[in-house]
Structure 1
Amino acid sequence: MNIDRKLRLTAAFVGAGTRKDLAAAFRKVNPLTAFDVDRADKWLQGRSTPRQFSVYEDWIRLIDLPMPADWIIDCDVDTFIEQVCSHHGKERAQLERRAAAFGKPSAPEDDRGATIAGRYVCYSHSWSPYFRGQLIRGVLSIEQENGPQRLTATYSEQLPTMPLKLKGPVTVSRRSVSISVSGGAEDVSLFFSLLPFSPPGSVLGGYMMGGTILGPDSQPSVTRMVLVRIKDDSTTNLESAYLEPGVTVPQDLARFGLKLHQPDLADEHLQRFLTRSVEGGADQVSREDFQRLVELFDRAWLGR
């Protein structure tokens, strides 16, 4: 049956990093699902299997395959992977790699030396009333200090009135990446709350919070943000932080030497991720939307 491996592969497919994330994915397809977080711990260890058939019915809906629910029980792992990948256009090696990492604590550095440290070009929505509706570009550099567990970030923007340069600590945990930077003549503080990092770390995503800098008053503000890793030798000396109207993120990324094979599709995924949710009053980024970006930018970063 290999239910434990199939569950980990399912977690990788839906972008879940923990048992709670996986349970939340099951609740999306059925709010009354019998998938239980505590029992899932035993299932993931291979110590037992779900006894209620409704779990498999919810499961087949979650992975969205045209199969009966008991197919999950009967098929071997290779067939399970093949069907998920072929039906949804996933890359097998990447899915297996993420499945193997499921539930394990994230670290700034993995066994292969791939780290979150590096340079990222960042895209978010302008907070300034003078540039309403435009995207703004920043550059984030993450460096190791005194060992891989201590990380420092430097965030910069080339604003019309001044260059902005802020520094602060980076915290990488199993559930998130948090960055708090401050400084500058205006005593600016910004906080980044990002989805968990996973190698090769071609893209990060989440929220940036702080106060408006260009405007008559400082207003508490938040924006979705995408951070795309760029090569260390890429130039970042650009004249303005604000993208001109009509310029897409993939077009701007080309200035940093990153050319995507499907720029129109990339732009569609980026726009979807950067557009805030209006459901229930709370804005929460979709793991599915972020996973699309991960697959797209991982391929570009690895030259696939």
Structure 2
Amino acid sequence: MKLQLTSLALGCSTSKELCARFATVNPETAFTTQNAYKWVRGKATPRLSSVYEDWARILGGGLTASFIAASSFDEFAQMIRRHLPVPDSALTKLRHDHPSPPAPAAPASGPAADSPMRPPSLRPNQWLAGDYLAVSLAWSQLKTGNLILGRAEIAPADGGDFTIRYTESLFGQDVTMTGAMLCDGRTAQAAVRCSLTLRLYFFALRAPAPPANIIGGILSGAALHDFEARAVAGRIILIRDHLKRGDPLHRPSYLAASPELLDEELDHLGYAGDPQRMAASRRLLALLQAPPPHGLIEMPPDALGALGLDFDRIAPRIAHAGG
């Protein structure tokens, strides 16, 4: 429905014309005629984040790739109509052609209500779930300039939310932080409690577009091994682990800020080994180390989006499936 509404708003009468609009912003776009046939008819959903980035560029108006991917149809329509002409009659026809499914009935009490045969419901932002290598700059004054490698696990929770479990190994001791994660389609935020100090730490992440090979944002809190418990915040990148080994080849630890060493870690996650992977390593380091503008520590959306495209190109082929 979002793609059909996009066609109407842009004045495209055929999928071929819509493909041409995507090609104007990215000659190598994955929005090809073959894929458009499936996607516009709802037979499959785009999973490449580059498709959503291209989509945001042709629509303009400040729309982001993550919003296009995660928003409801009504939210999407409301945003488009702020700067593109869409007649009420067109929206009425779209809703008539694609009626919303009836609301599910309240579950009955008793054993049948907990039957494992009930089909699972589709979760918004479901692509967030997964195992990740977390990369950030070290907070310890003894390790200034190094990276800290951590492990992050994001899992679905009751009520449509998520949980996050983040682990670092500091001076030979594993430190775990856990908490609930809330995602509104644009941001993914979590307040986590440290198992060692019982202090709170805060993740402010940008919700990714599928297939969510990376998630970027800010981690803030107080330095663990610091007498003064300095208040610290820094950029953090979560990189999806496609191999999901039971015993990962990398351990949460400090690492010299070297693109060569980071490239080795990406190999342990299943990303393709070629010059593009080294380029992704260099871009990731540059993003983490970039000086904060105007004294504010932020995760620049454009830089993060470019990094996401780098990782989409080197991700295992299964992550590039169009269906």
TM-score, L = length of structure 2:
0.63
Q: How many residues align?
A: 236
- Give unmatched runs, 5+ long, in structure 2: 12-16, 33-47, 57-64, 73-120
1:81 counterpart residue number = 22
Deviation (angstroms), 1:97? 4.5
2:106 counterpart residue number = none
Give distance in 2, aligned partners of 1:244 and 1:296. Answer: 22
Return 109-118 or 248-257, whichever deviates more: 109-118
Give distance in 1, aligned partners of 2:124 and 2:176. Answer: 31
Deviation (angstroms), 1:267? 1.9
CA contact (8 A) 1:169 1:180 kept: yes
Q: Does 1:192 align with 2:203?
A: yes
CA contact (8 A) 1:206 1:224 kept: yes
Q: Does 1:263 align with 2:263?
A: no
Where do 1:15-164 residues align within 5 Å? 46=9, 77-86=18-27, 90-92=29-31, 94=48, 95-97=50-52, 99=55, 102-103=67-68, 105-106=70-71, 114-146=126-158, 149-164=160-175
Give distance in 2, aligned partners of 1:286 and 1:183. Answer: 27
CA contact (8 A) 2:179 2:190 kept: yes
Letter of the structure 2 residue corresponding to residue 173 of structure 1: D
Give distance in 1, aligned partners of 2:51 and 2:252. Answer: 41
Deviation (angstroms), 1:302? 4.3
Structure 1 276/110 Cα, relative in aligned 2: closer, same or farther at 3 Å? farther
1:54 counterpart residue number = none
Deviation (angstroms), 1:174? 2.3
2:222 counterpart residue number = 211
Deviation (angstroms), 1:104? 6.1
CA contact (8 A) 2:23 2:29 kept: no
2:36 counterpart residue number = none
CA contact (8 A) 2:257 2:285 kept: no
Give distance in 1, aligned partners of 2:203 and 2:8. Answer: 34
Tell me, what secondary structure is at the counterpart of 2:134?
strand
1:299 counterpart residue number = 313
CA contact (8 A) 1:130 1:215 kept: no
Deviation (angstroms), 1:152? 1.0
Return 250-259 or 233-242, whichever deviates more: 233-242
CA contact (8 A) 1:172 1:178 kept: yes
Structure 1 103/239 Cα, relative in aligned 2: closer, same or farther at 3 Å? closer
1:225 counterpart residue number = 236
- Give unmatched runs, 5+ long, in structure 1: 9-43, 50-75
Give distance in 2, aligned partners of 1:200 and 1:287. Answer: 17
Q: Deviations over 1:76-101 (max 9, x none)?
A: 54333223212xx5543645445387
Tell me, what secondary structure is at the counterpart of 2:128?
coil
2:183 counterpart residue number = 172
Structure 1 296/284 Cα, relative in aligned 2: closer, same or farther at 3 Å? same
1:273 counterpart residue number = 287
Give distance in 1, aligned partners of 2:234 and 2:124. Answer: 33
Return 214-223 or 201-210, whichever deviates more: 214-223
| Identical aligned residues as a percent | 21
1:66 counterpart residue number = none
Give distance in 1, aligned partners of 2:251 and 2:294. Answer: 39
Structure 1 240/253 Cα, relative in aligned 2: closer, same or farther at 3 Å? same
Deviation (angstroms), 1:45? 7.7
Q: Which has the higher contact order (CA 8 A, sep 6+)?
A: 2
Structure 1 216/197 Cα, relative in aligned 2: closer, same or farther at 3 Å? same
Where do 1:278-289 residues align within 5 Å? 278-289=292-303
Letter of the structure 2 residue corresponding to residue 254 of structure 1: D
